[in-house]
């Protein structure tokens, strides 16, 4: 008895005579995703940036990268991320990415370059929710957290005096910077520095989440419990009183006094330790000054820095230009 699942003889004989064709695997590459990833990636430059294997490369994950017209370089928008970016240049003899210069689009006789790079990434990529992170390797990846990077870079300071200065910057100047970011910027201004690729539909959620996470980084919320957990636009009227403004104003005054002291300490020297090569202390100071200079109005300290600390402005530009 013929089964309903049995192929009829004429049909079977017809298909048996057809030539067999073996097809190649279907390409799983997503061009749209590839383009999106490339638009977020800024390769380091220089002879030491190109690697033979992807397992020898690293990616620095940061909030945002912005073009700086003065240095003609693409720089991280956050001071901790920028400090790490400059430190990687110093340690690995790398150059900053410049406008229109993308190594991944260049070819050699042996194929494509595999460069170290800076990558705009969500803070959710980090276990603790903070950036920067450093992703080393490709097949087997080692992800260094923000706190781990902080400890490693501090260990490279030459003297206890330099460590003291760095801790001073990471407390007084850092607190002033974060206060301005969290309490003085508009939502659109904040997102341009810390979440430039999100959709407008989720802007309020992203803004609130990032503010809450940033307030916890580097112990900011522990030092300023009175106003560290909620953005200023959501504070009660009582919290935005003259007392609140007095606290914020005092924080800025302390920062300005500290920067003036660093200017006096630097004096006429190009860098703190060596006239030809910036130290990690130079990189730290230059990162803070650069980010304070480029904060949007009304949070920017550009006027104060240009009028009261021109030496620090020149020092910041000189330090960054060292890695062009």
Q: Which CATH number fits domain 157-321: 2.60.40, 1.10.8, 1.20.1050, 1.10.760?
A: 1.20.1050
Residue-level pLDDT at 159:
93
Does the global pTM surpass 0.95? Answer: no
Q: Which residues in 91-121 are b (16+ Cβ under 10 Å) and which e?
A: eeebbbbeeebbbeeeeeeeeebbbbbbbbb
Q: Give, for 228, the enclosing helix (H) or strand (E).
A: none
Model confidence pLDDT, tens digit, residues 171-182? 999 999 999 999
Model confidence pLDDT, tens digit, residues 222-242? 898 876 545 555 554 444 567
Helix axes 146-155 and 79-92, enclosed angle (nearest 10): 50
Cα 68 to Cα 224: distance, rounded to the nearest angstrom: 32
Q: Would you kindly state where each structural domain of the chain is located, as residue ranges?
A: 39-153, 157-321
Cα 160 to Cα 162: distance, rounded to the nearest angstrom: 5
Residue recorded with tokens 């402005």: 313
Phi, psi of 315, deg, nearest 5: -65, -40
CATH classification of 39-153 is 3.30.70, yes or no?
no
Model confidence pLDDT, tens digit, residues 275-305? 788 999 999 999 999 999 999 988 889 999 9
Asked if 194 and 214 count as a contact pair (C-beta separation under 8 A), the reply is yes
Nearest Cα to Cα of residue 308 among 251, 262, 248: 262
Q: Of 209 and 174, which is predicted with more confidence? A: 174
DSSP letter for each residue of 51-68: ESSGGG-EEEEES-EEEE
């Amino acid at each position: 008895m013929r089964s309903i699942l049995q192929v009829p003889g004429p049909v079977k004989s017809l298909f048996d005579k057809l030539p067999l064709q073996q097809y190649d695997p279907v390409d799983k590459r997503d061009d749209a995703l590839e383009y999106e990833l490339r638009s977020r990636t800024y390769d380091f430059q220089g002879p030491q940036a190109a690697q033979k294997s992807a397992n020898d490369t690293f990616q620095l994950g940061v909030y945002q990268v912005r073009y700086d017209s003065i240095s003609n370089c693409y720089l991280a928008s956050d001071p901790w991320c920028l400090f790490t970016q400059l430190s990687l240049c110093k340690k690995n003899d790398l150059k900053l990415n410049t406008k229109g210069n993308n190594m991944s689009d260049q070819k050699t006789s042996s194929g494509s370059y595999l460069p170290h790079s800076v990558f705009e990434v969500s803070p959710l990529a980090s276990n603790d929710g903070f950036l920067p992170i450093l992703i080393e390797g490709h097949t087997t990846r080692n992800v260094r957290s923000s706190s781990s990077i902080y400890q490693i870079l501090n260990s490279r300071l030459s003297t206890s005096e330099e460590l003291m200065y760095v801790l001073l910057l990471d407390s007084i100047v850092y607190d002033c910077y974060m206060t301005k970011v969290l309490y003085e910027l508009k939502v659109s201004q904040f997102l341009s520095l810390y979440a430039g690729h999100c959709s407008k539909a989720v802007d309020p959620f992203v803004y609130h989440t990032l503010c809450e996470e940033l307030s916890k980084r580097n112990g900011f919320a522990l030092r300023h419990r009175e106003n560290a957990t909620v953005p200023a636009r959501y504070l009660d009227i009582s919290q935005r009183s003259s007392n609140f403004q007095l606290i914020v104003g005092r924080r800025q005054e302390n920062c300005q006094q500290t920067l003036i002291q660093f200017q006096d300490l630097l004096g006429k020297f190009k860098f703190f330790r060596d006239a030809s090569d910036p130290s990690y202390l130079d990189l730290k100071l230059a990162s803070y000054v650069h980010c304070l200079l480029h904060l949007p109005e009304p949070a920017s300290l550009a006027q104060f820095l240009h009028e009261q600390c021109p030496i620090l402005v020149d020092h910041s530009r000189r330090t960054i230009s060292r890695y062009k």
